[in-house]
Structure 1
């Protein structure tokens, strides 16, 4: 009997209207099919390998079902793949709402520019590096929450597979690139990933050297996304309350700050050479 009835990370966020609608619909269909098959919730739970409490939570739209739960339910109810197919909708709301919204913006952007001062940007992280970063949080996340967040972060990397390819620019602090988060193997794989991405024709990757005593990014992360219709959105930890903004005046300020940061950072060629040097030292 599986024991995930009280695991965190699979609950439905009540503020996520789309997520609630999808999970409620899937749960209702599961309940209707179970009842049509003449099965009690307890018996169905035994058949699929989960507790009765979890069955009620899934059917009541209070719990996001795992893919294996849907696959097993499909077999037990002889649904011919219709229940299993629901995973295509469920997996879209599996990730937190904020991550999905960010992913949607990144999927539409023709230009993405990011300065990151305290960590390697999520778009650049390897799965193991992301796991080490998320797993270091205090208070710690549950293993299931970590899995969910890592999967959501890695899913955003599809931005590198888009055609036509967007123009991507990243500036990372030297201290962040030097910090060996996770094991030596994890760190080496992360450095190799930076080199791989930095060599893409549509990516500019730069490192801000530690001997640059001050620059306009010391307040924190800066993000700028531009879209095909000419619109844009930006955010900075140290400006406008840290909230996303599309105000032209605010965007000009962020563009000025980001442009200054890029000018003070190592050139793309120097940055890749620096990362190669670090890799050689490990």
Structure 2
């Protein structure tokens, strides 16, 4: 097959082309992000994330931008191609990733692993490799997971609470140095003002999330959606009544977890144990 001819010199990657077009159209009008936000009725921070590629946004905001710029269907088409790009995320997670990037607050419970947002590069690679990925696909997914961590950075970063089962901290990486780095990373992240980390001891009585990892996302429109995941499948839950039931279960787990201060001490003890272990 002959190599595709590049005519415009613009990005040939769907997500990159979409963000380039957003920036070009705004620049041609000489508008700041705040001015554009006022014109289209969407939050400036969301538009900023879309232009930087941190999120693709949703069809509603893209349609509003198409209408404002007088480009009927152009941005929606580019958005659809970017969302469908197989190099991004697997289909079952694609909608969830879009919602996660737009969330104003997140609540997590981890059964066996820290959330991707709190994983080091080494941990992400080990976890994805354990799931069967390898070669180029593995590297692409590691890069994608690492990129998601930007969600928790910046002045407009959402608040994030992560409750980790003690089992997470009792299941180390094969490489002791990499495991130490992961524990140190958890401690560092827990010091950020927008992040709260708690540990649920193994001695806790049986509860409704004993075999299910959860993530709750509160969105700009005040809706809350949830993502539940066990050993065999993941599910995005948008039905309000089901989300409410899971939230009540999550609240009960949070109430029995160690306080943030006690949790930090717990992770510190785990780190000390790893540091003091004799080399083999």
Please indicate the TM-score interval, normalised by the length of the shorter structure. Answer: 0.5 to 0.7
Moved more, 196-205 or 92-101: 92-101
CA distance in 2, matches of 1:219, 1:192: 26
Alignment equivalent of 2:114, drawn from 120, 127, 151 = 120
In the TM superposition, 1:11-160 aligns within 5 A as 41=2, 55=3, 59=4, 82=9, 85-87=11-13, 88-89=16-17, 93=85, 94-98=87-91, 99-137=93-131, 140-160=132-152
Q: Which runs of 5+ in 1 are unaligned?
A: 1-30, 32-40, 42-54, 60-72
TM-score, normalised by the number of residues in structure 2: 0.66
Query: Is 1:169 aligned to 2:161, yes or no?
Result: yes
* Matched-pair contact (CA < 8 Å) for 1:133–1:181: no
Q: In the TM superposition, what whole-angstrom CA distance separates every residue of 1:161-195 from its partner, at most 9, and x where no partner exists? A: 14322111111111111211130111011011101
For 2:240, the equivalent position in structure 1 comes to 248
Alignment CA distance shift 1:201-1:120 (3 Å): same
Look at both structures and tell me which one has the larger radius of gyration over its CA atoms: 1
Question: 1 CA distance for matches of 2:190 and 2:146?
Answer: 17
Residue from 273, 276, 281 that aligns with 2:273: 281
Q: Tell me the equivalent position of 1:196.
A: 188
1 CA distance for matches of 2:210 and 2:164?
A: 12
Q: Which of 209, 220, 225 is the aligned partner of 1:228? A: 220
**SS of residue in 2 equivalent to 1:171:** strand
Give me the whole-angstrom Cα distance separating, in 1, the residues matched to 2:194 and 2:158: 7
* Residues 241-250 or 169-178, more deviating: 241-250
- 1:137-184 deviations in whole A, cap 9, x for unaligned? 3xx323111101111111111111143221111111111112111301
2:96 and 2:227 in contact (8 A); partners too: no
- How far residue 89 of structure 1 moved from its aligned partner, in angstroms, is 3.3
> Quick one: distance in 2 between partners of 1:89 and 1:274?
46
Q: Over the residues paired in the alignment, what is the CA RMSD in angstroms?
A: 2.5
TM-score by length of 1: 0.66
Deviations 1:78-135 (A, max 9, x none): x7x915x334339964322445433321221111111110211111111111111111
2-side partners of 1:242 and 1:149: how far apart? 17
Gaps of 5+ in 2: 19-52, 54-81, 275-280
Deviation at 1:237, TM superposition (A): 4.0
